[in-house]
Amino acid sequence: MQKRIVLCITGASGAIYGYRLLQVLTSMSFHIDLIVSSSGWLVIKEELEKTKQQILEEFPNINLVPDKDIANPVASGSRLIHYTGVIVAPCSMSTLGHVANGTNQNLIHRVCEVALKERVPLLLLLRESPYSMVHLENMLRVAKAGAVILPASPAFYHKPKNLQDLIDFVVGKALDSLRIEHHLYKRWKEDTLPT
């Protein structure tokens, strides 16, 4: 059976994380249902200088799902249980708030809600800084509900040489959370790990 994942990109800064996940998961032959919010497309254009058409041309095998398509099959629990997980990268604080409070304004919110109720792994990659008390309370609420909160905070023990190394560390931690094998960064004292 083909490996499946839902990847959501919202309007937070950090579109590069969603883009890099597209590259890596595509290379691993995942079936990707991609949901991009309207704000997400604006940030992709601003930060990556890429249009929707360019993304579709670069990743012709993804299934792009409109964020307003609330009735899409991917929002069904009986379908989502066959997925490895749901990743929101980057996850805006607005999206976090909707997920924390169970309110659905678009398909991204709905898919996250379904993931929580069906116990499908849900990872929210947050990039905002600093956090307000509201942000922290919303993070605690979704963490208690079963989601993984992953701040976009790269480490430096792997001796990053460039920006790509820092991006790959954060993306690698996202994949680690879903138990997806990868070689995006060198693990702590990797040379001493048993093979």
pLDDT class of 1 with cuts at 50, 70, 90: low
The domain of 146 spans 4-192
Confidence of residue 194 (pLDDT cuts 50, 70, 90): low
> Quick one: DSSP state of residue 190?
G
> 192: pLDDT confidence band, cut at 50, 70 and 90?
low
Query: Which is nearest to 121 in space by CA: 150, 92, 163, 153?
Result: 150
CB 43 within 8 A of CB 74: no
Q: What is the CATH number of the domain that holds 156?
A: 3.40.50.1950
Report pLDDT digits (tens) over 23-72: 999 999 999 999 999 999 999 999 999 999 999 999 999 999 999 999 99
Q: Which pLDDT value is given to residue 158?
A: 83
Using pLDDT thresholds of 50, 70 and 90, give the confidence band for residue 195: low
Measured CA to CA, the distance from residue 5 to residue 183 in angstroms comes to 19
Report the distance separating Cα 164 and Cα 3, nearest Å: 26
pLDDT in tens, 64-117: 999 999 999 999 999 999 999 999 999 999 999 999 999 999 999 999 999 999
Domain count, the chain: 1
Closest CA to 26 of 51, 2, 59: 59
Q: What is the pLDDT of residues 163-187, one digit of tens each?
A: 999 999 999 999 999 999 999 888 7
Structure tokens that stand for 60 in this block? 């012709």
Averaged pLDDT of the chain: 94
pTM value is 0.94
Give whole-number Cα distances, 62 to 42, 106, 135, 163, in Å: 20, 20, 32, 26
* Averaged pLDDT, 141-145: 98
Contact 174, 21 (CB under 8 A): yes
